[in-house]
Structure 1
Protein backbone atom coordinates (compact mmCIF):
# COMPACT_ATOMS: atom_id res chain seq x y z
CA UNK A 1 0.00 0.00 0.00
CA UNK A 2 1.26 3.44 -0.88
CA UNK A 3 1.90 6.11 1.69
CA UNK A 4 -1.37 7.95 2.24
CA UNK A 5 -0.15 10.97 4.17
CA UNK A 6 -2.31 13.97 3.36
CA UNK A 7 -1.00 17.33 2.27
CA UNK A 8 -1.58 20.74 3.69
CA UNK A 9 -0.89 22.45 6.98
CA UNK A 10 -3.00 22.34 10.11
CA UNK A 11 -5.22 19.61 11.53
CA UNK A 12 -7.20 17.31 9.26
CA UNK A 13 -10.22 17.52 11.59
CA UNK A 14 -11.16 20.56 13.64
CA UNK A 15 -14.23 20.39 15.89
CA UNK A 16 -15.20 23.66 17.55
CA UNK A 17 -17.70 24.06 20.41
CA UNK A 18 -19.93 21.31 19.03
CA UNK A 19 -23.35 20.80 20.62
CA UNK A 20 -26.07 18.39 19.47
CA UNK A 21 -29.46 17.88 21.08
CA UNK A 22 -32.08 15.24 20.41
CA UNK A 23 -35.41 16.17 21.93
CA UNK A 24 -35.63 17.77 25.35
CA UNK A 25 -33.13 15.55 27.18
CA UNK A 26 -29.48 16.16 27.88
CA UNK A 27 -27.39 17.05 24.80
CA UNK A 28 -25.65 14.15 23.05
CA UNK A 29 -22.63 16.46 22.63
CA UNK A 30 -21.90 19.49 24.79
CA UNK A 31 -19.53 22.26 23.70
CA UNK A 32 -17.04 19.74 22.33
CA UNK A 33 -13.74 21.00 20.91
CA UNK A 34 -11.10 18.62 19.56
CA UNK A 35 -8.61 18.40 16.70
CA UNK A 36 -7.10 15.46 14.83
CA UNK A 37 -3.71 15.89 13.19
CA UNK A 38 -2.88 14.49 9.78
CA UNK A 39 -1.35 11.04 10.07
CA UNK A 40 -2.73 10.53 13.56
CA UNK A 41 -4.69 7.52 14.79
CA UNK A 42 -7.11 8.92 17.35
CA UNK A 43 -9.31 6.65 19.45
CA UNK A 44 -12.49 8.15 20.88
CA UNK A 45 -13.41 6.14 23.97
CA UNK A 46 -16.54 6.15 26.05
CA UNK A 47 -19.45 4.05 27.27
CA UNK A 48 -22.71 3.61 25.41
CA UNK A 49 -24.56 6.92 25.26
CA UNK A 50 -21.43 9.03 25.70
CA UNK A 51 -21.78 10.74 22.31
CA UNK A 52 -19.23 8.71 20.29
CA UNK A 53 -21.61 7.74 17.49
CA UNK A 54 -23.03 11.26 17.33
CA UNK A 55 -19.53 12.65 16.88
CA UNK A 56 -18.81 10.13 14.14
CA UNK A 57 -22.01 11.10 12.32
CA UNK A 58 -21.09 14.79 12.53
CA UNK A 59 -17.65 14.18 11.04
CA UNK A 60 -19.15 12.01 8.31
CA UNK A 61 -21.70 14.68 7.44
CA UNK A 62 -24.58 12.37 8.28
CA UNK A 63 -26.00 14.72 10.90
CA UNK A 64 -25.77 18.43 11.69
CA UNK A 65 -24.87 20.16 14.95
CA UNK A 66 -27.15 22.57 16.72
CA UNK A 67 -24.13 24.71 17.57
CA UNK A 68 -20.46 24.72 16.65
CA UNK A 69 -18.36 23.85 13.62
CA UNK A 70 -17.01 20.71 11.93
CA UNK A 71 -14.13 21.23 9.50
CA UNK A 72 -12.49 18.27 7.72
CA UNK A 73 -9.64 18.73 5.24
CA UNK A 74 -10.61 22.38 4.83
CA UNK A 75 -14.33 21.67 4.28
CA UNK A 76 -16.97 23.11 6.63
CA UNK A 77 -18.97 19.89 6.88
CA UNK A 78 -21.66 21.45 9.08
CA UNK A 79 -22.57 23.86 6.26
CA UNK A 80 -23.00 21.27 3.49
CA UNK A 81 -26.36 20.40 2.00
CA UNK A 82 -27.42 16.84 1.23
CA UNK A 83 -25.74 16.65 -2.19
CA UNK A 84 -22.60 18.36 -0.92
CA UNK A 85 -22.40 15.96 2.02
CA UNK A 86 -22.58 12.98 -0.33
CA UNK A 87 -19.78 14.38 -2.51
CA UNK A 88 -17.70 15.12 0.60
CA UNK A 89 -18.05 11.55 1.88
CA UNK A 90 -17.05 10.07 -1.48
CA UNK A 91 -13.95 12.27 -1.67
CA UNK A 92 -12.83 12.48 1.95
CA UNK A 93 -14.18 9.66 4.10
CA UNK A 94 -13.66 5.92 4.13
CA UNK A 95 -15.90 4.16 6.66
CA UNK A 96 -15.35 0.80 8.37
CA UNK A 97 -18.24 -0.57 10.40
CA UNK A 98 -18.61 -3.18 13.12
CA UNK A 99 -20.83 -5.40 10.96
CA UNK A 100 -18.96 -4.80 7.66
CA UNK A 101 -22.00 -3.45 5.70
CA UNK A 102 -20.99 -5.38 2.57
CA UNK A 103 -23.65 -6.07 -0.06
CA UNK A 104 -24.30 -9.82 -0.08
CA UNK A 105 -25.51 -9.90 -3.72
CA UNK A 106 -22.25 -8.37 -5.01
CA UNK A 107 -18.90 -10.15 -5.24
CA UNK A 108 -15.98 -9.02 -3.12
CA UNK A 109 -14.49 -7.15 -6.07
CA UNK A 110 -17.76 -5.40 -6.89
CA UNK A 111 -18.23 -4.37 -3.25
CA UNK A 112 -14.82 -2.69 -3.34
CA UNK A 113 -15.48 -1.13 -6.75
CA UNK A 114 -18.79 0.46 -5.73
CA UNK A 115 -17.46 3.65 -4.04
CA UNK A 116 -15.06 4.24 -6.93
CA UNK A 117 -17.85 3.92 -9.45
CA UNK A 118 -20.03 6.31 -7.46
CA UNK A 119 -17.15 8.78 -7.43
CA UNK A 120 -16.85 8.57 -11.22
CA UNK A 121 -13.51 6.76 -11.36
CA UNK A 122 -12.93 5.00 -14.69
CA UNK A 123 -13.68 1.28 -14.83
CA UNK A 124 -10.11 0.29 -15.67
CA UNK A 125 -8.53 2.48 -13.00
CA UNK A 126 -11.02 1.45 -10.33
CA UNK A 127 -10.61 -2.27 -11.09
CA UNK A 128 -6.83 -1.97 -10.97
CA UNK A 129 -7.05 -0.10 -7.67
CA UNK A 130 -9.51 -2.60 -6.17
CA UNK A 131 -7.45 -5.64 -7.14
CA UNK A 132 -4.26 -4.04 -5.78
CA UNK A 133 -5.93 -3.31 -2.44
CA UNK A 134 -7.39 -6.82 -2.17
CA UNK A 135 -3.92 -8.24 -2.84
CA UNK A 136 -2.28 -5.91 -0.31
CA UNK A 137 -4.86 -6.97 2.28
CA UNK A 138 -4.46 -10.68 1.55
CA UNK A 139 -7.96 -11.37 0.21
CA UNK A 140 -7.51 -11.10 -3.57
CA UNK A 141 -8.19 -14.84 -3.95
CA UNK A 142 -11.79 -14.08 -2.92
CA UNK A 143 -12.42 -11.34 -5.50
CA UNK A 144 -15.14 -13.35 -7.28
CA UNK A 145 -16.63 -14.73 -4.04
CA UNK A 146 -19.75 -13.41 -2.33
CA UNK A 147 -19.22 -11.96 1.18
CA UNK A 148 -21.42 -14.53 2.91
CA UNK A 149 -18.83 -17.22 2.17
CA UNK A 150 -16.03 -15.36 3.99
CA UNK A 151 -15.02 -15.34 7.63
CA UNK A 152 -15.58 -12.24 9.75
CA UNK A 153 -11.93 -11.24 9.53
CA UNK A 154 -11.90 -11.66 5.76
CA UNK A 155 -15.05 -9.58 5.39
CA UNK A 156 -13.55 -6.82 7.50
CA UNK A 157 -10.47 -6.77 5.26
CA UNK A 158 -12.75 -6.42 2.24
CA UNK A 159 -14.52 -3.57 4.05
CA UNK A 160 -11.16 -1.85 4.62
CA UNK A 161 -10.32 -2.23 0.92
CA UNK A 162 -13.68 -0.64 0.07
CA UNK A 163 -12.94 2.23 2.48
CA UNK A 164 -9.55 2.86 0.86
CA UNK A 165 -10.44 2.57 -2.82
CA UNK A 166 -11.03 6.32 -3.30
CA UNK A 167 -7.80 7.20 -1.43
CA UNK A 168 -9.64 9.18 1.28
CA UNK A 169 -7.65 11.42 3.63
CA UNK A 170 -9.62 10.05 6.59
CA UNK A 171 -10.77 6.60 7.72
CA UNK A 172 -13.61 6.47 10.26
CA UNK A 173 -13.78 3.13 12.08
CA UNK A 174 -16.78 2.30 14.25
CA UNK A 175 -15.97 -0.64 16.60
CA UNK A 176 -14.13 -2.40 13.73
CA UNK A 177 -13.36 -5.53 15.77
CA UNK A 178 -16.64 -5.72 17.71
CA UNK A 179 -18.08 -8.59 15.63
CA UNK A 180 -14.85 -10.58 15.32
CA UNK A 181 -13.26 -13.44 17.24
CA UNK A 182 -9.89 -12.90 18.89
CA UNK A 183 -7.74 -14.12 16.00
CA UNK A 184 -9.64 -12.07 13.41
CA UNK A 185 -9.60 -9.03 15.70
CA UNK A 186 -5.83 -9.31 16.09
CA UNK A 187 -5.49 -9.38 12.32
CA UNK A 188 -7.56 -6.22 11.92
CA UNK A 189 -5.57 -4.49 14.68
CA UNK A 190 -2.35 -5.21 12.79
CA UNK A 191 -3.94 -3.88 9.62
CA UNK A 192 -5.06 -0.63 11.27
CA UNK A 193 -1.61 -0.10 12.75
CA UNK A 194 0.03 -0.74 9.38
CA UNK A 195 -2.27 1.74 7.65
CA UNK A 196 -1.46 4.42 10.21
CA UNK A 197 2.28 3.75 9.98
CA UNK A 198 1.96 4.39 6.24
CA UNK A 199 0.45 7.82 6.94
CA UNK A 200 -3.30 7.15 6.93
CA UNK A 201 -5.28 9.34 9.34
CA UNK A 202 -7.71 7.21 11.34
CA UNK A 203 -10.44 8.11 13.80
CA UNK A 204 -11.49 5.04 15.77
CA UNK A 205 -14.65 4.99 17.90
CA UNK A 206 -14.76 2.27 20.53
CA UNK A 207 -15.59 1.40 24.13
CA UNK A 208 -12.66 -1.08 24.16
CA UNK A 209 -9.66 0.46 25.91
CA UNK A 210 -7.51 -2.50 24.88
CA UNK A 211 -8.26 -1.90 21.21
CA UNK A 212 -7.44 1.78 21.61
CA UNK A 213 -4.14 1.00 23.32
CA UNK A 214 -3.12 -1.28 20.47
CA UNK A 215 -4.28 0.85 17.53
CA UNK A 216 -4.19 4.51 18.49
CA UNK A 217 -1.43 7.07 18.80
CA UNK A 218 -3.67 9.23 21.01
CA UNK A 219 -6.95 8.82 22.86
CA UNK A 220 -9.76 11.04 24.09
CA UNK A 221 -12.66 9.97 26.27
CA UNK A 222 -16.25 11.16 26.08
CA UNK A 223 -18.62 11.02 29.04
CA UNK A 224 -22.13 12.47 28.71
CA UNK A 225 -21.15 14.31 25.56
CA UNK A 226 -18.15 16.07 27.11
CA UNK A 227 -14.42 15.43 27.00
CA UNK A 228 -13.49 13.67 30.22
CA UNK A 229 -9.93 13.04 29.13
CA UNK A 230 -8.33 15.01 26.33
CA UNK A 231 -5.33 14.41 24.14
CA UNK A 232 -3.61 11.61 26.02
CA UNK A 233 -0.89 9.84 24.08
CA UNK A 234 -1.18 6.07 24.29
CA UNK A 235 0.89 4.72 27.12
CA UNK A 236 0.60 7.83 29.32
Structure 2
Protein backbone atom coordinates (compact mmCIF):
# COMPACT_ATOMS: atom_id res chain seq x y z
CA UNK A 1 0.00 0.00 0.00
CA UNK A 2 2.76 2.47 0.98
CA UNK A 3 6.36 2.60 -0.22
CA UNK A 4 8.71 5.36 0.91
CA UNK A 5 12.20 5.10 -0.55
CA UNK A 6 15.02 7.25 0.89
CA UNK A 7 12.63 10.13 1.59
CA UNK A 8 13.99 13.40 2.96
CA UNK A 9 12.32 16.78 3.46
CA UNK A 10 14.16 19.99 4.22
CA UNK A 11 12.60 23.45 4.64
CA UNK A 12 14.37 26.72 3.76
CA UNK A 13 17.87 25.42 4.26
CA UNK A 14 17.25 24.36 7.87
CA UNK A 15 17.83 20.92 9.38
CA UNK A 16 15.89 18.17 7.64
CA UNK A 17 12.40 17.43 8.94
CA UNK A 18 12.83 13.91 7.53
CA UNK A 19 16.10 12.17 6.74
CA UNK A 20 16.44 9.19 4.41
CA UNK A 21 13.24 7.44 5.54
CA UNK A 22 12.53 4.10 3.86
CA UNK A 23 9.29 2.44 4.88
CA UNK A 24 6.93 -0.18 3.48
CA UNK A 25 3.38 -0.63 4.76
CA UNK A 26 1.25 -3.52 3.46
CA UNK A 27 -2.46 -3.20 2.75
CA UNK A 28 -4.61 -3.70 5.84
CA UNK A 29 -1.93 -2.76 8.36
CA UNK A 30 -2.53 -0.21 11.13
CA UNK A 31 0.68 1.75 11.64
CA UNK A 32 1.31 4.23 14.45
CA UNK A 33 3.97 6.91 14.03
CA UNK A 34 5.24 8.15 17.40
CA UNK A 35 7.99 10.47 18.56
CA UNK A 36 8.52 13.85 20.26
CA UNK A 37 7.36 17.15 18.78
CA UNK A 38 9.55 18.10 15.83
CA UNK A 39 10.51 14.51 15.05
CA UNK A 40 8.91 14.58 11.58
CA UNK A 41 5.60 12.83 12.24
CA UNK A 42 3.33 15.44 10.66
CA UNK A 43 5.76 15.96 7.77
CA UNK A 44 5.54 12.26 6.99
CA UNK A 45 1.74 12.36 7.10
CA UNK A 46 1.67 15.39 4.79
CA UNK A 47 3.87 13.60 2.26
CA UNK A 48 1.55 10.58 2.26
CA UNK A 49 -1.45 12.87 1.76
CA UNK A 50 0.17 14.71 -1.13
CA UNK A 51 0.03 17.96 0.84
CA UNK A 52 3.80 18.29 0.63
CA UNK A 53 6.58 16.95 -1.59
CA UNK A 54 9.86 15.34 -0.56
CA UNK A 55 13.15 17.11 -1.17
CA UNK A 56 14.54 13.71 -2.14
CA UNK A 57 13.25 10.17 -2.51
CA UNK A 58 9.95 8.72 -3.68
CA UNK A 59 6.49 8.31 -2.12
CA UNK A 60 4.14 5.71 -3.60
CA UNK A 61 0.64 5.02 -2.22
CA UNK A 62 -1.69 2.41 -3.71
CA UNK A 63 0.34 2.48 -6.92
CA UNK A 64 0.30 6.29 -7.22
CA UNK A 65 3.67 8.07 -7.33
CA UNK A 66 2.52 10.83 -5.02
CA UNK A 67 5.76 12.83 -5.19
CA UNK A 68 5.22 13.42 -8.92
CA UNK A 69 1.68 14.84 -8.67
CA UNK A 70 0.83 18.44 -9.44
CA UNK A 71 -1.66 20.42 -7.38
CA UNK A 72 -4.79 19.35 -9.28
CA UNK A 73 -3.71 15.71 -9.44
CA UNK A 74 -2.89 15.76 -5.71
CA UNK A 75 -6.41 16.97 -4.91
CA UNK A 76 -7.91 14.22 -7.08
CA UNK A 77 -5.63 11.64 -5.41
CA UNK A 78 -6.80 12.70 -1.95
CA UNK A 79 -10.46 12.49 -2.96
CA UNK A 80 -10.01 9.02 -4.44
CA UNK A 81 -7.47 7.39 -2.13
CA UNK A 82 -7.09 9.20 1.19
CA UNK A 83 -9.31 9.78 4.21
CA UNK A 84 -8.04 12.46 6.61
CA UNK A 85 -8.88 12.78 10.31
CA UNK A 86 -7.50 15.80 12.16
CA UNK A 87 -6.97 16.69 15.81
CA UNK A 88 -9.43 19.60 15.71
CA UNK A 89 -12.06 17.93 13.49
CA UNK A 90 -12.07 20.62 10.71
CA UNK A 91 -15.84 20.35 10.34
CA UNK A 92 -17.81 23.16 8.66
CA UNK A 93 -19.97 24.73 11.37
CA UNK A 94 -22.53 26.13 8.92
CA UNK A 95 -23.27 22.68 7.48
CA UNK A 96 -25.25 19.95 9.22
CA UNK A 97 -23.57 16.74 10.31
CA UNK A 98 -25.00 14.90 7.31
CA UNK A 99 -23.81 17.57 4.88
CA UNK A 100 -20.32 17.58 6.42
CA UNK A 101 -20.12 13.82 5.89
CA UNK A 102 -21.47 13.87 2.34
CA UNK A 103 -19.26 16.77 1.17
CA UNK A 104 -16.30 14.64 -0.10
CA UNK A 105 -18.68 12.63 -2.28
CA UNK A 106 -20.17 15.79 -3.77
CA UNK A 107 -16.68 17.05 -4.55
CA UNK A 108 -15.90 13.73 -6.21
CA UNK A 109 -18.98 13.94 -8.41
CA UNK A 110 -20.94 11.10 -6.77
CA UNK A 111 -24.67 11.19 -7.50
CA UNK A 112 -26.63 12.94 -4.74
CA UNK A 113 -28.87 9.99 -3.85
CA UNK A 114 -25.97 7.55 -3.67
CA UNK A 115 -23.92 9.96 -1.57
CA UNK A 116 -26.78 10.50 0.87
CA UNK A 117 -27.28 6.74 1.26
CA UNK A 118 -23.59 6.25 1.97
CA UNK A 119 -23.59 9.09 4.52
CA UNK A 120 -26.64 7.65 6.28
CA UNK A 121 -25.00 4.23 6.48
CA UNK A 122 -21.83 5.69 7.99
CA UNK A 123 -23.68 7.80 10.54
CA UNK A 124 -25.69 4.77 11.59
CA UNK A 125 -22.63 2.52 11.81
CA UNK A 126 -20.75 5.09 13.90
CA UNK A 127 -23.68 5.62 16.25
CA UNK A 128 -24.42 9.25 15.41
CA UNK A 129 -27.39 8.96 13.03
CA UNK A 130 -29.58 10.85 15.52
CA UNK A 131 -27.36 13.92 14.98
CA UNK A 132 -27.66 13.95 11.17
CA UNK A 133 -29.59 17.25 11.05
CA UNK A 134 -27.70 18.89 13.92
CA UNK A 135 -24.83 21.32 13.51
CA UNK A 136 -21.33 20.36 14.72
CA UNK A 137 -21.23 23.05 17.41
CA UNK A 138 -24.01 21.26 19.32
CA UNK A 139 -22.04 17.98 19.56
CA UNK A 140 -19.49 16.79 22.08
CA UNK A 141 -15.84 16.46 21.07
CA UNK A 142 -16.14 12.70 20.74
CA UNK A 143 -19.24 13.02 18.58
CA UNK A 144 -17.56 15.58 16.34
CA UNK A 145 -14.59 13.27 15.88
CA UNK A 146 -16.97 10.48 14.88
CA UNK A 147 -18.43 12.83 12.27
CA UNK A 148 -14.90 13.56 11.07
CA UNK A 149 -14.17 9.83 10.75
CA UNK A 150 -17.43 9.31 8.84
CA UNK A 151 -16.44 12.10 6.46
CA UNK A 152 -12.99 10.55 6.02
CA UNK A 153 -14.56 7.19 5.12
CA UNK A 154 -17.17 8.66 2.78
CA UNK A 155 -15.35 7.83 -0.46
CA UNK A 156 -14.13 4.42 0.77
CA UNK A 157 -10.46 5.46 0.94
CA UNK A 158 -7.70 2.94 0.50
CA UNK A 159 -5.74 4.72 3.24
CA UNK A 160 -6.96 6.46 6.39
CA UNK A 161 -4.57 9.07 7.82
CA UNK A 162 -5.24 10.22 11.39
CA UNK A 163 -3.28 13.13 12.88
CA UNK A 164 -3.55 13.20 16.70
CA UNK A 165 -7.24 12.16 16.56
CA UNK A 166 -7.62 12.12 20.37
CA UNK A 167 -5.44 15.16 21.06
CA UNK A 168 -8.37 17.55 21.63
CA UNK A 169 -10.62 15.09 23.48
CA UNK A 170 -11.31 14.25 27.11
CA UNK A 171 -10.49 10.74 28.32
CA UNK A 172 -13.98 9.32 27.76
CA UNK A 173 -14.24 10.70 24.22
CA UNK A 174 -10.69 9.53 23.52
CA UNK A 175 -11.68 6.02 24.51
CA UNK A 176 -14.61 6.17 22.06
CA UNK A 177 -12.24 7.11 19.24
CA UNK A 178 -9.80 4.35 20.23
CA UNK A 179 -12.58 1.80 19.98
CA UNK A 180 -13.71 3.21 16.65
CA UNK A 181 -10.23 3.04 15.10
CA UNK A 182 -9.67 -0.43 16.54
CA UNK A 183 -12.87 -1.57 14.86
CA UNK A 184 -11.76 -0.13 11.52
CA UNK A 185 -8.42 -1.92 11.83
CA UNK A 186 -10.23 -5.20 12.50
CA UNK A 187 -12.25 -4.65 9.30
CA UNK A 188 -9.03 -4.39 7.28
CA UNK A 189 -8.79 -0.61 6.84
CA UNK A 190 -5.21 0.52 6.20
CA UNK A 191 -4.43 3.19 8.81
CA UNK A 192 -1.48 5.47 9.47
CA UNK A 193 -1.88 7.13 12.84
CA UNK A 194 0.28 9.98 14.13
CA UNK A 195 -0.04 10.36 17.88
CA UNK A 196 1.56 11.33 21.18
CA UNK A 197 -1.01 9.09 22.91
CA UNK A 198 0.82 5.82 23.41
CA UNK A 199 -2.32 4.13 24.75
CA UNK A 200 -3.97 4.94 21.42
CA UNK A 201 -1.00 3.56 19.48
CA UNK A 202 -0.98 0.42 21.60
CA UNK A 203 -4.71 -0.14 21.20
CA UNK A 204 -5.05 0.56 17.47
CA UNK A 205 -1.76 -0.31 15.80
CA UNK A 206 -0.11 -3.65 15.14
CA UNK A 207 3.08 -1.86 14.13
CA UNK A 208 4.71 1.22 15.63
CA UNK A 209 7.47 3.31 14.07
CA UNK A 210 9.32 5.82 16.22
CA UNK A 211 10.84 8.94 14.69
CA UNK A 212 13.55 11.10 16.21
CA UNK A 213 15.08 14.11 14.45
CA UNK A 214 13.51 13.00 11.19
CA UNK A 215 14.91 9.47 11.25
CA UNK A 216 13.33 6.09 11.98
CA UNK A 217 14.92 4.92 15.24
CA UNK A 218 12.64 1.96 16.00
CA UNK A 219 10.19 -0.19 14.07
CA UNK A 220 8.21 -2.90 15.82
CA UNK A 221 5.49 -5.15 14.43
CA UNK A 222 3.61 -7.17 17.05
CA UNK A 223 0.04 -7.42 18.29
CA UNK A 224 0.96 -5.09 21.16
CA UNK A 225 1.83 -2.04 19.10
CA UNK A 226 3.86 0.55 21.02
CA UNK A 227 5.02 -2.02 23.56
CA UNK A 228 6.95 -3.70 20.77
CA UNK A 229 9.52 -0.92 20.68
CA UNK A 230 9.74 -0.54 24.43
CA UNK A 231 7.78 2.71 24.73
CA UNK A 232 6.23 2.96 28.16
CA UNK A 233 2.56 3.97 28.25
Q: TM-score when scaled to structure 1? A: 0.94
The reply on whether 1:203 has 2:157 as its aligned counterpart is no
SS at the partner of 1:138? Answer: coil
Q: What RMSD, in angstroms, separates the aligned Cα atoms of the two structures?
A: 0.8
Residue in 1 that maps onto 2:204: 215
Question: Residue deviations 1:7-54, cap 9 Å, x none?
Answer: xxxxx0101100100122210000000111111100000110000010
Cα distance in structure 2, aligned partners of 1:25 and 1:170: 31
Cα distance in structure 2, aligned partners of 1:53 and 1:172: 11
* Higher relative contact order structure (alpha carbons within 8 Å, sequence separation ≥ 6): 1
The reply on whether 1:137 has 2:126 as its aligned counterpart is yes
Cα offset for 1:138?
0.4
Q: 1:120 aligns with which of 109, 117, 134?
A: 109
The reply on whether 1:57 has 2:40 as its aligned counterpart is no
Residue in 2 that maps onto 1:177: 166
Contact 2:207 2:219 in 1 (8 A): no
SS at the partner of 2:13? Answer: coil
Cα distance in structure 1, aligned partners of 2:198 and 2:168: 16
Residue in 2 that maps onto 1:80: 69
Residue in 1 that maps onto 2:155: 166
SS at the partner of 2:16? Answer: coil
Question: Residue deviations 1:106-138, cap 9 Å, x none?
Answer: 000000010000011000000000000000000
Cα distance in structure 1, aligned partners of 2:177 and 2:78: 23
Flag structure 1 segments of 5+ consecutive residues without an equivalent.
1-11
Cα offset for 1:208?
1.9
Q: 1:194 aligns with which of 174, 183, 202?
A: 183
Aligned length in residues:
225
Cα distance in structure 2, aligned partners of 1:187 and 1:201: 19
Match runs of 1:81-100 below 5 Å: 81-100=70-89
Cα offset for 1:231?
3.5
Residue in 2 that maps onto 1:26: 15
Cα offset for 1:209?
1.6
